[in-house]
Amino acid sequence: MSEDMIPLGINDPMEFGCGAENPCFNECCRDLNQALTPYDILRMKKALKISSHSFLREYTSMHIGPETGLPVVEFKPNPATGHACPFVTEKGCSVYEDRPGSCRLYPLARAIARDRATGEIREYFALIKEDHCKGFGKKEGRTVGKWLEGQHVGDHNRQNDKLMELISLKNQIMPGRLEGAESDIFYLALYNLDEFRDKIQNQGLLKDLVLPRDFAEKIAADDTALLDFGIAWVKHRLFGRELRF
């Protein structure tokens, strides 16, 4: 974590409040340079009732991350709005119930470490203090843990941890930049889920695999199950890991 962040434990006080009563309301939704995870996109495209392809085309741009060498998806920059989130309104977030995990965590940053012996994930938190935010100093009796519960960020964290595990595997086996077809496979299976499903069902993408019927039905109907399979398939297809159903 950055040196200008303040480390916090799960039981430490969370003296912060966010709402329309704050003079800075919506300011954290402007001047964005915000990466979106696959689960962020899954939730938002479902909330908007559009396909992942339409969401990605309308709202996002993609580049290759210099550190990971992997596709990074961000909100499409729009100087005309001060690089505001496309879903911010005067009344707040129009996709609030399905907002990205980083929005739920703010003003916290989260990092994880996995115990090599047990596989247990340990969480570390830090407070991000930015000049534009006026929500600090509100003593409302919450701990960091209670704040996180109130933001309903658990599903996002669990799904995003799976992505971090995949990135760690990639960096061990294939350091450097993913190119061409390999980059396309990663983007398709993690970000463009509806296209991934169509290629499985109608274009023979997995013709060399025999999917158990119940498993095939599950990924046909459940986007989260399909994302989990996409992560496993990328591990298999690009990094040689055994594929289990």
Please write the tens of the pLDDT for every residue from 191-223: 999 999 999 999 999 999 999 999 999 999 999
The chain-wide mean pLDDT, for the chain, equals 93
Greatest Cα pair distance, the chain, in angstroms, is 59
- Token pair for residue 161? 């941890």
Burial class of residue 49 (count of CB atoms within 10 Å of its CB; 0-12, 13-18, 19+): exposed
Q: Using an 8 Å Cβ cutoff, are 195 and 188 in contact?
A: yes
Task: Point out which residues pair with 13 in neighbouring strands.
Answer: 143
Q: Cα 193 to chain center, whole Å?
A: 14
**Which residue has 């690009």 as its token pair?**
238
Band (31; pLDDT cuts 50, 70, 90): confident
Tell me, what's the pLDDT at 8?
A: 94
